[in-house]
Amino acid sequence: MSAPTIADVREAARLLDGVAHRTPVLTSRTLDALTGCEMLLKAENLQRVGAFKFRGAFTALSALDPGTPVVAFSSGNHAQAVALAAREQGRRAIIVMPEDSPAAKLAATRGYGAEVVLYDRYREDRTAIAQRIAREQGAEVIPPFDHPSIIAGQGTAALELLEDAGDLDLLFVPCGGGGLLSGSLLAAADLSPACRVFGVEPEAGDDVRRSFDAGEPVAIDVPRTIADGAQTTRVGDTTFAIIRERVSGILTASDAELVAQMRFLAARMKTVVEPTGCLGLAAAVAQARDLAGDLGRRPRVGVILSGGNVDLARFAELLGGGEPVGDGEPVDDADAAGGAA
């Protein structure tokens, strides 16, 4: 499988112009004060289907012959993205989803017109199920991350962030299978070469960090984490080749840290972000100042908020405990710069 280039990311951006939202870049004075950095948050929770995944799905499906049916496997966001992209392109979509996927993601995927096939993520092989369906239906399998067009499409999120925000010192990107991270690395290398890019995984699911340390992909058991969008067991071969060559490091965040950032974003910035979408922010809050070192100025730090698809009952459950954000101080405003959602 050929690796994508920055030219592919730019072509994906051209293809997505007017189709995907150019999501805003959010800022908060409170967040800047907490971190000692200028924080710039790319709000992909406001993307179509509520996640960055629409970018890659629409890009990948656009490369197929008209009318070709597609099969995808996903815990939710890729599922919704392929379902919507297929509907817009007049294709049939069959999505293989874990039976414990969030109810909101299952409902949304069906709502976009896709047929959903459920499986047990702890006992069954989703890839094998998708490949069997594809053979039977004459369909094309669209994987969630290890695909050149998927990577190129996902990279347009970081491309837009850097176009709208300018040069960054650090960029923190959620990482499951590596599609968003590898695409972001391509964009950053072109638009902000001095920017150090960090991938962030759930603490319980650090397969990419282990792979980076080992120098080759390492598989793990399905991780038990609230970050359902990053419950991957192995990084992709194509994504890992890009990550290994270009990434500055792989970090992790605990479930408790994810909940803390979900609470901060909801209370202070009035935006709903799912646990997986908070991976980058959790690491940035904990480590950005130290990782930036002594620049002689306030570091400029980019974070991709990758998605906002969380069931409201689950959202309330997760945020129900803990101390209030800011110890009851007045709520700061959340400013937006860049394109409209």
Catalytic option among 155, 236, 306, 338:
306
Q: What is the C-alpha separation between 232 and 126, in angstroms, rounded?
A: 11
Catalytic option among 74, 75, 101, 192:
75
The three-point CA angle 209-247-181 to 5° equals 80
Active site residue 38: no
User: What are the two backbone dihedrals, phi and then psi, of residue 51, each rounded to the nearest 5 degrees?
Assistant: -165, 160
How crowded is residue 293: how many other Cβ atoms within 10 Å of its Cβ?
10
Give the single-character DSSP code of 223. Answer: P
Q: Given the structure tokens 């799912």, which residue do they identify?
A: 274
Catalytic option among 205, 280, 308, 338:
205
Q: Name 40's bridge partners.
A: 302
Catalytic option among 207, 228, 257, 274:
207
- Token pair, residue 218, equals 């390492």
Catalytic option among 8, 44, 50, 53:
53
Active site residue 164: no
The three-point CA angle 305-278-19 to 5° equals 25
The SS3 call for residue 96 is strand
Nearest to 173 by CA among 190, 160, 155: 155
Q: Given the structure tokens 């605990």, which residue do they identify?
A: 254
- Token pair, residue 246, equals 């270009």
Catalytic option among 146, 169, 201, 274:
201
| Integer CA distances (angstroms), 86 to 148, 275, 329, in order | 18, 26, 46
Active site residue 207: yes
Active site residue 201: yes
* Sign, Cα dihedral of 245, 10, 179, 276: positive
Active site residue 53: yes
Nearest to 77 by CA among 314, 290, 306: 306
Q: What is the C-alpha separation between 334 and 266, in angstroms, rounded?
A: 11
Q: What is the C-alpha separation between 297 and 74, in angstroms, rounded?
A: 42
Active site residue 177: no
Q: Name the residues annotated as catalytic.
A: 53, 75, 201, 205, 207, 306
